[in-house]
């Protein structure tokens, strides 16, 4: 039995796959404050033009610059692994494979986009990147990429995580990044929030507003903003995962995949694995594709497809996406990376076109699945990743009940070695399941009244 299928470095994909080229309807444009489509030049102070071009591109294949491949090769291709221990435990006839994205320097899939984003910024003459981070995964990935490319990096980290999760902040500092608690006194948005609520725990929405403000206010003109999920160019960069997986499945002798699964926060690790398989589905292949989200932040399963802001302060353009409303505040579940009110427009559109089947899983079931995974496979998953694992276990059990041999593929988006406090809370019985009431949902969606309809 081959437990892991390694692709030779020379076989790494040389292009990214752009799902926008194959969707039935053209992706809707983001809208500006005047309700009109945002023009590329309107975004030029926030992102460099080369990334804006990728953001709006409908070209099917986009070349990966050789210098980017060179850096990704430090940990890519990631292995495709067989979860034989879990299969035997579940007595399932299904064959379970996973891409292990937890082996990157920052411990998740996020460096797959942090590296090209830093590279394109550098090409455009940018010297410094600003960003936000919740639990710290994205801030550490971008700090790592900036260190390798010689850019400065400033990260606004949500206050409550900054205080409770010192290790990711330290990772950023080791890579030379500057990490400040948000809200901060560095920006007008931060000062305003602090004046009104000195004890605020902060939020991702506030941190995004601060990072954008700091980037566009820099008088040197050489600072830009970077986002770790949601946007089209981020989905694009992550497709290297699914493209590698296809080659590796062929090596493993698997002609067909039945089920593809990924956890979904902003949508990038799911899209990265799934979009190349969606291309097959569009061309007639039968494959069940499942994004998995927490029941406490049910963007795809209960949210509305609408135009909404990406942040609380309304500084971003309006994006056409599944959303719970931009000032939705999720109950504090431990999977910090899945706590975003919106979803990538490309993933949202794929749901609308019937290309995937979203599913929501409660927190306690996710932790129980993560424990079973750790005790049968070894790697301790990030709490985000455990959502995918819970869905994999459901599918594998179903295969046993139906007596069907099936091939299940999922994305192991990251390890959980920096998230042991979440496991501690689970093991000491402090966690509960939480589901949004219909009233809460309607109240939150009410904030979309008067917005343009997609
Ligand atoms: C950030 C993160 C996620 C969620 O983000 P997506 O853009 O939905 O992929 C999932 N897993 C891990 C390990 C993460 O760090």
Give the closest residue (by CA) to ligand 1 atom 5: 265
Whether residue 263 has its Cβ less than 6 Å from ligand 1:
yes
13 C-alpha vs ligand 1 centroid, how far in Å?
A: 22
- Ligand 1 pocket test, candidate residues 131, 165, 413, 414, most atoms within 8 A of CB: 413
Residue 272 CA to residue 424 CA, distance in Å, equals 30
Between 290 and 135, residue with greater pLDDT:
290
- Ligand 1 pocket test, candidate residues 131, 155, 261, 265, most atoms within 8 A of CB: 265
Q: Which residues contact 208 (CB under 8 A, 6 or more apart)?
A: 132, 227, 310, 311, 312, 313, 315, 316
Nearest to 128 by CA among 111, 165, 148, 153: 153
Could you give the C-alpha distances from 18 to 23, 61, 227, 362, in angstroms and in order? 10, 6, 18, 32
Whether residue 414 has its Cβ less than 6 Å from ligand 1:
yes
**Identical fold between 4-11+64-107+232-445 and 111-225:** yes
pTM, entire model: 0.97
Give the closest residue (by CA) to ligand 1 atom 14: 337
Q: What is the mean pLDDT of residues 63-75?
A: 98
135 — pLDDT class (breaks 50, 70, 90): confident
345 — pLDDT class (breaks 50, 70, 90): very high
Residue 288 CA to residue 258 CA, distance in Å, equals 6
Ligand 1 atom showing the smallest separation from residue 110 Cα: 15
Whether residue 413 has its Cβ less than 6 Å from ligand 1:
yes
Q: Which of 91-100, 181-190, 330-339 has the lowest mean pLDDT?
A: 330-339
Residue 216 CA to residue 219 CA, distance in Å, equals 8
Residue 327 CA to residue 120 CA, distance in Å, equals 32
315 — pLDDT class (breaks 50, 70, 90): confident
Give the closest residue (by CA) to ligand 1 atom 2: 337
Whether residue 338 has its Cβ less than 6 Å from ligand 1:
yes
- Cβ atoms 210, 179 nearer than 8 A: no
Ligand 1 atom showing the smallest separation from residue 238 Cα: 9
Q: Residues of the chain with pLDDT > 90: what percent?
A: 87
Whether residue 139 has its Cβ less than 6 Å from ligand 1:
no
Supply angle C-alpha 162, 129, 149, rounded to 5: 110
234 C-alpha vs ligand 1 centroid, how far in Å?
A: 12
pLDDT at 332 exceeding the cut of 70: no
- Ligand 1 pocket test, candidate residues 268, 274, 321, 330, most atoms within 8 A of CB: 268
In total, the chain counts a number of residues equal to: 454
Q: Which residues contact 411 (CB under 8 A, 6 or more apart)?
A: 98, 99, 101, 109, 241, 261, 262, 263, 269, 270, 272, 273, 385, 388
pLDDT at 279 exceeding the cut of 70: yes
pLDDT of residue 330: 65
Q: What is the mean pLDDT of residues 114-130?
A: 98
Ligand 1 atom showing the smallest separation from residue 267 Cα: 8
Token pair listed for 39? 């023009």
Token pair listed for 30? 């983001």
Whether residue 105 has its Cβ less than 6 Å from ligand 1:
no
pLDDT at 303 exceeding the cut of 90: yes
Topology of the domain comprising 111-225: Rossmann fold (3.40.50)
Tens-digit pLDDT profile for residues 353-406:
999 999 999 999 999 999 999 999 999 999 999 999 999 999 999 999 999 999
pLDDT at 329 exceeding the cut of 80: no
> Domain-by-domain residue ranges, the chain?
4-11+64-107+232-445, 111-225
Whether residue 444 has its Cβ less than 6 Å from ligand 1:
no
pLDDT of residue 37: 95
Q: Residues of the chain with pLDDT > 70: what percent?
A: 98
Token pair listed for 299? 């963007």
Residue 382 CA to residue 386 CA, distance in Å, equals 6
Whether residue 389 has its Cβ less than 6 Å from ligand 1:
no
Whether residue 229 has its Cβ less than 6 Å from ligand 1:
yes
Instruction: Please list, residue by residue across 119-152, b when 16 or more beta carbons sit within 10 angstroms of its beta carbon and e when fewer do.
Output: bbbbebebebbbbbbbbbbbbbbbbbbbbbbebb
Average confidence score pLDDT of the chain? 95
198 C-alpha vs ligand 1 centroid, how far in Å?
A: 30
Whether residue 265 has its Cβ less than 6 Å from ligand 1:
yes
219 C-alpha vs ligand 1 centroid, how far in Å?
A: 33
Q: In CATH, which of 1.10.287.130, 3.90.76.10, 3.30.565.10, 3.40.50.1100 is domain 4-11+64-107+232-445?
A: 3.40.50.1100
85 — pLDDT class (breaks 50, 70, 90): very high
Tens-digit pLDDT profile for residues 188-239:
999 999 999 999 888 888 899 999 999 999 989 999 999 999 999 999 999 9
Give the torsion through C-alpha atoms of 56, 57, 60, 62, to 10 deg. -120
Q: What is the CA radius of gyration of the chain?
A: 21
Whether residue 382 has its Cβ less than 6 Å from ligand 1:
yes
Tens-digit pLDDT profile for residues 18-38:
999 999 998 899 999 889 999
**Antiparallel, parallel or unpaired: β 259-263 and 407-412:** parallel
- Cβ atoms 133, 156 nearer than 8 A: yes
Neighbouring CB atoms inside 10 A of 356's CB total: 25
Whether residue 266 has its Cβ less than 6 Å from ligand 1:
yes
Q: Which residues contact 117 (CB under 8 A, 6 or more apart)?
A: 51, 129, 142, 145, 226, 233, 234, 237
Whether residue 346 has its Cβ less than 6 Å from ligand 1:
no
């Amino acid at each position: 039995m081959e437990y892991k299928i390694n692709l030779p470095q020379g076989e790494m994909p040389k292009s990214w796959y752009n799902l926008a080229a194959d969707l039935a309807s053209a992706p809707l444009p983001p809208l500006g404050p005047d309700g009109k489509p945002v023009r590329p030049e309107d975004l030029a102070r926030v992102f460099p033009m080369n990334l804006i071009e990728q953001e709006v591109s409908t070209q099917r294949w986009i070349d990966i610059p050789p210098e980017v491949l060179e850096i990704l090769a430090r940990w890519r291709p990631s292995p495709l692994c067989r979860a034989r221990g879990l299969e035997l435990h579940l007595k399932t006839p299904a064959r379970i494979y996973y891409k292990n994205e937890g082996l990157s320097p920052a411990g998740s899939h996020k460096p797959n986009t942090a590296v090209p984003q830093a590279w394109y910024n550098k090409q455009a003459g940018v010297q410094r990147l600003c960003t936000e981070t919740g639990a710290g995964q994205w801030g550490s990935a971008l700090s790592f990429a900036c260190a390798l490319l010689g850019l400065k990096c400033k990260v606004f980290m949500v206050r409550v995580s900054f205080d409770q999760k010192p290790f990711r902040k330290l990772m950023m500092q080791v890579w030379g990044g500057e990490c400040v608690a948000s809200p901060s006194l560095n920006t007008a948005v931060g000062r305003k929030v602090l004046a009104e609520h000195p004890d605020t725990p902060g939020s991702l929405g506030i941190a995004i507003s601060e990072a954008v403000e700091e980037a566009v206010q820099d008088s040197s003109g050489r600072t830009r903003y970077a986002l770790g999920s949601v946007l089209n160019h981020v989905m694009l960069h992550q497709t290297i995962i699914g493209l590698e997986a296809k080659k590796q499945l062929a090596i493993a002798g698997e002609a067909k995949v039945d089920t593809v699964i990924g956890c979904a926060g902003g949508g990038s690790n799911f899209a990265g694995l799934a979009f190349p398989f969606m291309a097959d589905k569009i061309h007639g292949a039968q494959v069940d594709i499942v994004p998995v989200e927490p029941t406490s932040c049910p963007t795809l399963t209960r949210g509305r497809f609408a135009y909404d802001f990406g942040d609380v302060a309304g500084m971003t353009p309006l994006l056409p996406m599944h959303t719970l409303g931009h000032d939705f505040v999720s109950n504090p579940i431990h999977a910090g990376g899945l706590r975003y009110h919106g979803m990538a427009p490309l993933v949202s559109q794929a749901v609308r076109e019937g290309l995937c089947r979203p599913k929501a899983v409660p927190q306690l079931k996710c932790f129980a699945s993560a424990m079973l995974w750790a005790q049968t496979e070894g790697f301790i998953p990030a709490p985000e990743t455990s959502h995918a694992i819970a869905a994999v276990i459901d599918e594998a059990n179903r295969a046993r009940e139906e007596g069907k041999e099936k091939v299940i593929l999922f994305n192991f988006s990251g390890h959980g070695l920096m998230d042991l406090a979440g496991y501690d809370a689970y093991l000491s019985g402090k966690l509960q399941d939480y589901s949004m009431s219909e009233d809460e949902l309607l109240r939150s969606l009410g904030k979309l009244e008067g917005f343009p309809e997609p």
